[in-house]
Amino acid sequence: MFNSSRRTSRPFTVLVEGNIGSGKTTFLNYFDRHQNVSVLAEPIELWRNCDGHNLLGLMYEDSQKWSFTFQSYVQLTMLQHHCHRSSHPIKLMERSVYSAKYCFVEKMRRDNILSEASAAVIDEHFQWLINNPNTAADLIVYLRTSPEIAYERIIERSRVEEKFISIDYLRELHNIHEEWLFYKNLHYCPAPVIVLNADLDKSSIEEEYQKCHYHIFNDIPISVQG
């Protein structure tokens, strides 16, 4: 049970991070059954319908043209999740303004998809965001998945927009997540990180989830990777 002595003016905030296809939805569904938890899934439906425009689809179809528009909207919608008010003492968020900037914008910059001017605008906005107390985090759960497993899952779920995703793209995005959350030599980690083996199938993954269960619900010191 949640230890109320840890309650502050904001919920204990957990960022659930990982590559595309790493099983974030499965993880969130597992913890959503607890009454003290507010779960905020990635706002994909907003990205699919911004006043009638499927920005997610446009970005995958022509990333050179739409990356700045898409990432600007991602930053806004993720900020809305960070600022979301809830009566629950614990909040689990699927991704964050941090991974949007540190992983996806980083990938676009490396690929020269995002111009330096566009990246500078996103960065200026981001620097303002992270100085806002609403973007504070208490724990990061990194669902560490091999690109090959992630690719299999993407093929299996068959989202229309994801048909353009290649295994090479997933490998490069995986490497960026590794640099940020596993090796911790890229960008700043806003909270302690727990690394889970998310390659496991659904029949055995819940035991892996238990590794972070008590860190979320109790005041137990966190032993973190690195």
Q: Which residues belong to the active site?
A: 94
Q: Using alpha carbons, list the distances in angstroms from residue 122 to 65, 68, 119, 126.
A: 16, 8, 5, 6
Q: Using alpha carbons, list the distances in angstroms from residue 224 to 47, 70, 99, 150, 189.
A: 33, 33, 19, 24, 12
Q: Output the six-digit token pair for 66.
A: 């739409």
Q: Using alpha carbons, list the distances in angstroms from residue 16 to 57, 69, 75, 194.
A: 23, 24, 16, 10
